[in-house]
Every structure is written in structure tokens, then in C-alpha cells.
Chain A
Amino acid sequence: MEILVCVRRVPDTSENEIQLNPAGNDIERDDLVYSINEPDNYAVEEALQMVAKAGGSVTVVTVGGDDDEEVLRREMAMGANRGVLLSDEAFDGSDGKGIATVLKAFVQKGHYDLILTGVQAEDGGAQVGGMLAAMLDYPFASLVNSIVVDGGKLKVSREIEGGNKEMNEIDLPCVLSIQTGINEPRYVGMRGIRQVASVEVPTFGASDLGVDASAVGDAGAKVKRMDYFMPALGKGAEMLQGDRGEVIAKLIELMKAKGGLN
């Protein structure tokens, strides 16, 4: 089974404090630690497990620049057979559709049975997978938390409300967006990354892919972020201050009033 996993390098939200930069037009990026988008990592692990059982290979691809190569290498250190960078100035400023357009062009240059993305990235878009599927006319399922290969089809379950699972059968080739928790990703250590440090990562630009520059990048984007700002702190919570005893006494009083202490 030939599997393509679309990955993304993002600031690691758990290890970073996100703040606005002094100019106010972006977040402060100096001290940020970047890593692979967590759901994408689960997707790669899932692909590796599927290929270990059914044979085939795993390709990881990202749309970005030189900095983004490091996540490709990390996933290759994890076991992906090939990493590909899609990079071109023309791609800068792409919205979700732009990214999906570039990926679609790459997909059509090869032959993949299955395309995986993570369910969403740091911008909470949760869109590239669905868009890519529509562009390719492949069936799509989002929030996938289990995959079973069944002949030439897949049985996938989707995470819906209440912890319930929606079981679906889906034809190949298809696109799936993968939810965290689907598996336990293997560890990738520094040594593994060093070992793939010199493996070649081919890079393709707009002309290699046959992508029309006006359809992608800032030029083709219909959705553009204008700025970042800190949300105006609304009324918010009544913060209880003072020494521990006072705070607890006040809290108990409030909870009693709301009928919580019976």
C-alpha cells in the first residue's frame, strides 16, 4: 500500500508561551520551539503500522520552506521511506485551499492508495484533508480514530460526540484526517534523526508540479489573516485573592449559594 502523509511544522503549543511581537503584526517567534503537528505524527505512525502489516511504503510531504525540512527528516527517522518538500515563493501566503492545490498537484504526479493528514494544525483549520479529497474526487473521512484494512477497502471509525464511534466503509484511494490517540507513536531519538541527516529530500516548485501560481499563495488566497491580537479580556472570572483560608471560605460560601453543598 502506497501511503502519503501530509505533515506540517508548527510551534509546539505545550512548550511555548504565545505572545504578540512588539510590532503587533505576528506572534513572537524568537523563543519558539517547533515540532511536527501532533495529529500528523499520529498519522505517520498509523501509516507505518499499516505498511508493516500490508507492505508498501510511506511518503511524507509538506508545503513550506527549508525550515520545514526538519519535520520531514524526523518522520523519516521514525520510518517513513521518503520525504518530499514542496517549496516555492509562489506558495507563500497560501490559504487552506492553496495548500490543498499544491498537494493535489503532487499527488497526481505519483500514485498513492491512501492519503492521510492530521485532523488539524495550530491554526485550527481542519480543512486541508477535506479540500484535497474534493479536489481529487476521492472519498473522505475526518476525525478517524481507527483504520482496518479489509480487502481493497478500509473500515474506519470516526470520533463523534459522547465518545461514540461512527463506523464507515470507505473505498480506496481515499483521504483520511487522523485524530490523536489512534495509536501510540514510536519514539524518535536524536540518534535516529542524525542518521537521516544526509538523506536527500527532493524539493519541487510550482513549475515542477504544474501549479498555476495565481491559484496559490497570497495571490490565490481568498482567506487572509489580517493580524493577531490578544482577546480583550472580558469580564471573565471573579478572581479570589487573599490567603488560602480566606479564599477557601469565600469559595465555599459561593458554592453554597449556588446549591452545591448539600
Chain B
Amino acid sequence: MVEGIQSPAQVTYWLMTGRSLFVVLNLLGLACFFYIVSKRMTPLIRGERDWRFDRPLVRLERVLQFWLGQWKHPRYRTAGIMHILFFAGFIILATQAFSLLILGIAGNFVLPGSSGEIGHIYDIVKDYAATIVFLCMIVAAVRRIVFKPARYAVPARYGKGHPVDAIFLLALIALLMASESLFEASKAAFQTQQGQPVEFLAALSLPWMLKNVLISTPLPTLQTLHLGAYFVDVLTFYFLLCYRPFGIQFHVETSLFNVYFAKLDRGTVKPVRWGVTDEHLDQVKSFGVKTFEDFTWKHMLDFYSCADCGRCSEQCPANAVGRPLSPRFITIKARDYSFQHYPMFGSAGNGTPLIGGIYSEDEIWSCTTCGACEEECPLLIQYIDKIVDLRRGMVDDGNVPQSLQKPLKALESRGNPYGKMEKKRAEWTKSKEFSQTCAVKTVDGKSNADTLYFVDSITSYDDRMQSIGRATARILDAAGVNFGILGAAEKDSGHDARRFGEETLFMALRDHNVDAIKASGVQHIVTSDPHAYNALKHDYKDVPPVEHISQVICREVKSGNLKLDPVENADSVYAYHDPCYLGRHNQVYDDPRDVLDAIPGLKRVEMDRCRDRSFCCGGGGLMLFYEPKEDQRMGVKRVQMAAEAGANVIVTACPFCMVNIEDAIKVAGLEGKMTAIDLAELVDKQLVRPAPAQLGHDKLTSDVLA
């Protein structure tokens, strides 16, 4: 009688039966893996706490969207589609992998429920999956070797890259697919030759092709190939399993957890220490992250989960202008640090300072907190919280650049970074022309208003930006909003003091403002400053809901309450620049655009990098005082992008963007060819104002302001 092909479990190898051998191999492989993972867990156990166990349903939904659904991947089309393909492949092949391993122990193992129709469909699908994964590996390797996408390159100052390692891993996965396919193919060829029922192989799949190649191969050879392929498969599987935690491939295991535990609240900054309320912060001995162990366990998990794809750094505006910051290397350097200091054998080290070690001060101060990196990362790795924590550590140690010490001190003593006197905060309302047409009241308990216009420091004190304040006030007036300002009682929102690591100063400013806001009795807050908007929305608790002026205008225009005149200059082409703290952090993209589109005759173009890919203007708040080492200004790159898009007017909705962009227009030599205007200024200019008689009240609304 003709024997069927022997399964690996049945064969005897030297002294052991296949079954025993593979039991041992599996146990060894798993033991090795668990040992490695436990060593990788060590720093996480030493790390700071991080509250990530709330809102499980929301988290699960995000796992479905970002992990299973690979939501962010297509933002980089080629690599994204490839990754989706082989990720799907891995998911599909997971069951197959499991069955294969068991096969070595229980020879005719068949997964329960897989013998019927479902099993049949699965067999087809899995064959194609293996083929697609195999092909993807080849394409990926060719891409790396021949096309060398820029974002994979490792600049010299960050050390050596691991290009060979990357290719090696791609090759191993390809090998896994090949060995699996060979295992099937050899069996199928054997069975075909013997006239036995053949396990179905999907047409044109890799196992199918291999079967056809082997169709005439002698049976003993097929048997050897069959067993050999299995060995290679098991060994490769366990090698990969144990090797992945040593490099970027660890994301295969950690990505699910990294996405599940990812940050849910946009625009917020983590507290100094989870679970410690503001009142008890005095008891915290050291603020911020100074050593690796000061990171929370989740941030450490982020370091493990990085796939080194470079998307974050490619989007990072600081990186683009030559500042010493590359988000990718914030992560990779920390990961390498943890691998070095928490080795597989030997004692774990701890406590060496990060600043001056793996990170430089300038690297950490260079970040504008624009969030482009976080928006891009397919693994939802966070950067801003880490940068803020590192800054908190430096502030705690007194290690702050001299250029930032002055505005911080001014914030402390005068409530604004310019050091100007508190009593002059509302002077912008008193300019002669303006005050005649628009009376701005101060909500000081005597005059009531239901809406607060939170002006914040730059709009209050900067000669140029005061015009945004006046425009906003006139718009609110025209819309019939009963609004007031806090005047001298308003202090800086503290938004950027917080993000520059001065948490205590931020809390003092915030508490002062919250008291003033509550005392004013307002029900709504409006601001023309996206940093203030973000602070009031996310950093402040117990304050009335806040809107940005662009949202108010949009609503009033759509309802017909505000009407806009057509543009005068037919040659003007407008491009809207999304401010980071209005757009990316708070996802207000459409309201400003709808407002612009509501202006009759306005020609608008989009820059390539728009919406959540908007390119930061250079940063606001305290960033205006910092002196970075850079090759070029971010603002200059941005105005060049606007010019490339065919625009000659840049519209923005943030006073800090305005500072940077107007400055950049001069530096880029585009004066006379490009202008910038704030959305509020533009709307104010285009507002249709009824003649006084029609309105029937005594306030002058004629357009005195040409």
C-alpha cells in the first residue's frame, strides 16, 4: 500500500519523535519569547503611572478604526496600501500559523469548524494572503534598496540606520511565507502523484505555483522538502517572534495595545502626575521627565511601538527647517536607551539624565507643539506630552534659555509676556477712530454681558494685532452679540506657559482667569486667538463653552444675520492657512473656509499642505521669543507654499500665524506680491453694514474704517 506523506509529528528525528521534538521547540520558543517580553516590561513597571483604563468602548472603537482599519496608513499611499495588504495578510494567516504549529504535535490537526465551507473559503483566502504578503515583502525590499524614500534616511547626528536589519526582517517574513507555501505545495505534489485527494490550493497563489514546479519531483525529495519546509517555518516563526522585540518589528505585538491605550483627548496636556490634583502638587518632589524612568509606562510603550517609518519627521515643520528636532528620533533614541539600560541579561540601569544625554536642550525647545507628528503616526504615538514633560523637567532644574526667561518672568509679574502694564491691556479699545464706532465694555460686575470676548495678550498689546481685536469687536457688534472683555482683569491664558513646561505659572494664570470669568457671569466665550481657544476649551475647567470667532461668523453668515460684500480686487487669489490650534488640534477646518466661500467673487485655492496637514507658521506664544538654530524660518516655507498654490493673499485666523507670516513675506522677498490678512479683518472689511437710519438705534455703524 502506498503511504501518504508523513506529517512532521509522525517522523522520528534522531532520538525524538516529531511530536516530542516540536513540543520542546514550541515550549522553548514560547519560553524565550515570554522571557524577552518580561524583560521589556521591566522599565514599564518602573515607569510613572498613566490612566488609560477608562472609556473602554471608545478605545475599542479606535482599535477597530486605527488598528484593524489601518485608518492612517493611506496618508502615504504606496507604503500605506502595501502595509494594509500585508497587515490583512497577517491577520488572515494568524489562524493558519496556529494550526501549523500544532501540526507538529498532533499530526492531523485540523482546526475545529474549519472542515466545512468556511474552512474551504479560508483555505483559498489564506493562500492568496500568503502570496500577497510574499510579494509585498519583495516590493518593500526593492523600495528600500532601490528607491530609498527620504524619510527612512538617518541623518549622521542620529547615529547609524539599520537598513540591513530592515531588509533582513523583510526577507525573513518572505521566507516564512515561502516555507509555509512549500510545506503545502510539497504535500499537494506528493498527493497528486499518488492519486490521493489533494488539499485545495488556490489558483495562481504561491503554494499553487510551487506545487506545479514540484509536480514531478520524486516522492522522497518531496517528503524531505515537506519536513524541511516545516522546520524552516517553525524556526523562522520563533526566530521572528523572539527577534521582533529587539527592533522596530516589536510594533507587531505592541501595536494593538498602543492603539487601545492611546490618548483620547485632543488638545490637552497630561497632568504633571496622574492622580495628583493641583492642590497636592507641592508634594511631588520632581516635576517632569528628567530620567527615562520618569516617563509613564504608556510613553515607554510608545517607544517600543515605533515602526521607524519616518512619517512624523517628514511632516515635522521644525525638522523641515533644520532645527535639531526630529520626532522619529525622540522615539528611537529613547527606545535604544531602554534596550541598552534594560538588557536581557544583567542588571537594569536607571537614572541617567536624558537632557544632555540622548537629548539636547535645543532639540526639546525647538518643538512648536503643532501636532503634525501625532496626526501622522499610524501607531498613534504621542509626542507633545513627552516634550512638555521634558520641558517641565528642565524648568524644574532651572535650565531655561535666557531668551525665554524674560517673557516667563513678565508673565509672572505682569500677566503678559511683553512686560507691559496690566492697566494698559484694554488700551486697544480706546483708539479714537475705533471707540467712536464701537464701544467695547468691560465686564466688571457693573455692565452685564452674556458673552465674553477673551482677547489674550498678543491681541491686546501688539500694535499690529490690536487690529484683529478691533475687527472682532466690530463683527460681534454687527452680529448683535452682547459682549464684553475682562480688560485689566484678564491675564494671559497661560496656554504656552504650560506647553513650555511652566506648569505652576500656568496654574496661577488659569486660576486668576477662571475666577474673573466666573465673576463676570458670562454664558459664552468667544476668542480670535486659537491658543486661547484651546486653553479655554481643554486646559480650563468650569468655564462657559468657548468658540472661535470663525465659528461665530460662519453661523451668523449662514443664518443671514451677517451679509458680506463682494471682493473688490478681481486679481486677489486667497489661500487659507489652517492655524495648528484651530485646525489640527481642534479640527475646525470648514467654518473658516465656508466664511471665505460666502464672500461673493472670492477666488480661493488650497495649498497642498492644508487641513490636518497644515504646515506650522513657526509657532506662537513663547515660541516667538525663543531663538532657534534653524536653516530657514517655517513661515518662509509656508508663504512659498502659498505662492506655489497660486495665491497672493494668505488668510489666517490666528494672531501668531499673522506675526510669522507677515514677517516671512518680508524675509522671503515677497513684499508687494503677497499680503496676509486675518479672517476677522477680512470679514470686518467685507461686512455689509446697514445705513444708520435703517438700524434704528443710535450707535454709529458707518464704515469709518477704510
Which residues of A line the B interface, CB within 8 A?
12, 14-15, 17, 31, 33, 35, 78-79, 184-192, 194-195
Cβ–Cβ contact A31 & B504, under 8 A: no
Least Cβ distance of B578 to chain A in Å? Answer: 33
Residues of A within 8 A of B422 (CB): 31
Known: A14-B419, A186-B398, A190-B508. 10 other contacts (CB 8 A): A31-B421, A31-B423, A184-B402, A187-B395, A187-B398, A187-B404, A190-B412, A191-B287, A192-B398, A194-B504
Residues of B within 8 A of A192 (CB): 398
Knowing A189-B502, A189-B505 touch, does A35 contact B400 (C-beta < 8 A)?
A: no
14 A-B pairs in the complex with CB atoms less than 8 angstroms apart: A15-B413, A31-B421, A31-B422, A185-B405, A186-B397, A186-B400, A187-B395, A187-B404, A187-B408, A189-B504, A189-B505, A190-B504, A191-B503, A195-B282
Residue B340 at the chain A interface, CB threshold 8 Å: no
Instruction: Name the contact of A78 in the complex, choosing from B398, B406, B508 (C-beta under 8 A).
Output: B398
Residues of B within 8 A of A79 (CB): 398
Instruction: Name the contact of A187 in the complex, choosing from B399, B410, B419, B421 (C-beta under 8 A).
Output: B399
Knowing A33-B413, A35-B413, A184-B402 touch, does A191 contact B504 (C-beta < 8 A)?
A: yes
Residues of B within 8 A of A15 (CB): 410, 413-414, 419-420
- The chain A residue sitting closest to B402, CB to CB, is A184
Residue B72 at the chain A interface, CB threshold 8 Å: no
Residue B396 at the chain A interface, CB threshold 8 Å: yes
Cα distance A188–B420 in the bound complex, in angstroms: 21
Q: Which residue, of A33, A35, A190, A192, has the highest number of chain B Cβ atoms within 10 A?
A: A190
Residues of B within 8 A of A17 (CB): 421
Least Cβ distance of A51 to chain B in Å? Answer: 15
Cβ–Cβ contact B414 & A188, under 8 A: no
Residues of A within 8 A of B410 (CB): 15
Convert B478-507 into 0s and 1s, putting 1 for each residue whose CB lies closer than 8 angstroms to a CB of A: 000000000000000000000000111100
Knowing A14-B419, A15-B414, A31-B423 touch, does A194 contact B282 (C-beta < 8 A)?
A: yes
Cβ–Cβ contact B408 & A189, under 8 A: yes
Which residues of B line the A interface, CB within 8 A?
282, 287, 395-400, 402, 404-406, 408-410, 412-414, 419-423, 502-505, 508
Cβ–Cβ contact A187 & B405, under 8 A: yes
- The chain B residue sitting closest to A31, CB to CB, is B421
- The chain A residue sitting closest to B287, CB to CB, is A191
Cβ–Cβ contact A189 & B395, under 8 A: yes
Least Cβ distance of A184 to chain B in Å? Answer: 6
The secondary-structure label for the interface of chain A is loop
- The chain B residue sitting closest to A192, CB to CB, is B398
Residues of B within 8 A of A189 (CB): 395-396, 398, 408, 502, 504-505
Residues of B within 8 A of A12 (CB): 413, 419
Residues of A within 8 A of B504 (CB): 189-191, 194
Q: Which 8 A-B pairs have the closest CB atoms?
A: A186-B398, A187-B400, A15-B419, A191-B504, A190-B504, A33-B413, A187-B398, A190-B505
- The chain B residue sitting closest to A33, CB to CB, is B413
Cα distance A35–B406 in the bound complex, in angstroms: 12
Least Cβ distance of B166 to chain A in Å? Answer: 42
Residues of A within 8 A of B412 (CB): 190
- The chain A residue sitting closest to B506, CB to CB, is A190
Least Cβ distance of A63 to chain B in Å? Answer: 23
- The chain A residue sitting closest to B505, CB to CB, is A190
Cα distance A188–B396 in the bound complex, in angstroms: 8
Residues of A within 8 A of B420 (CB): 15
Cβ–Cβ contact B502 & A186, under 8 A: no
Residues of A within 8 A of B503 (CB): 191
Residues of B within 8 A of A33 (CB): 413-414
Cα distance A43–B408 in the bound complex, in angstroms: 21
Least Cβ distance of B505 to chain A in Å? Answer: 5
- The chain B residue sitting closest to A191, CB to CB, is B504
Cα distance A12–B410 in the bound complex, in angstroms: 10
Q: Which residue, of A31, A79, A191, A192, has the highest number of chain B Cβ atoms within 10 A?
A: A191
Residues of A within 8 A of B406 (CB): 14
Cα distance A97–B478 in the bound complex, in angstroms: 65
Residues of B within 8 A of A78 (CB): 398
Residues of B within 8 A of A191 (CB): 287, 396, 503-504
- The chain A residue sitting closest to B410, CB to CB, is A15
- The chain B residue sitting closest to A190, CB to CB, is B504
Least Cβ distance of A75 to chain B in Å? Answer: 12
Cα distance A168–B436 in the bound complex, in angstroms: 66
Cα distance A234–B421 in the bound complex, in angstroms: 28
Cα distance A14–B413 in the bound complex, in angstroms: 12
Cα distance A31–B488 in the bound complex, in angstroms: 13
Residues of B within 8 A of A190 (CB): 412, 502, 504-505, 508
Cα distance A188–B399 in the bound complex, in angstroms: 9
Residues of A within 8 A of B405 (CB): 185, 187
Residues of A within 8 A of B421 (CB): 17, 31
- The chain B residue sitting closest to A186, CB to CB, is B398
Cα distance A234–B414 in the bound complex, in angstroms: 33
Cα distance A79–B396 in the bound complex, in angstroms: 12
Residues of A within 8 A of B395 (CB): 187, 189
Cα distance A35–B412 in the bound complex, in angstroms: 11
Cα distance A190–B405 in the bound complex, in angstroms: 12
Cα distance A52–B49 in the bound complex, in angstroms: 33
Least Cβ distance of B457 to chain A in Å? Answer: 14
Cα distance A14–B421 in the bound complex, in angstroms: 11
Cα distance A192–B396 in the bound complex, in angstroms: 8
Residues of A within 8 A of B396 (CB): 189, 191
Least Cβ distance of B542 to chain A in Å? Answer: 22
Knowing A17-B421, A31-B421 touch, does A186 contact B413 (C-beta < 8 A)?
A: no
Cβ–Cβ contact A186 & B414, under 8 A: no
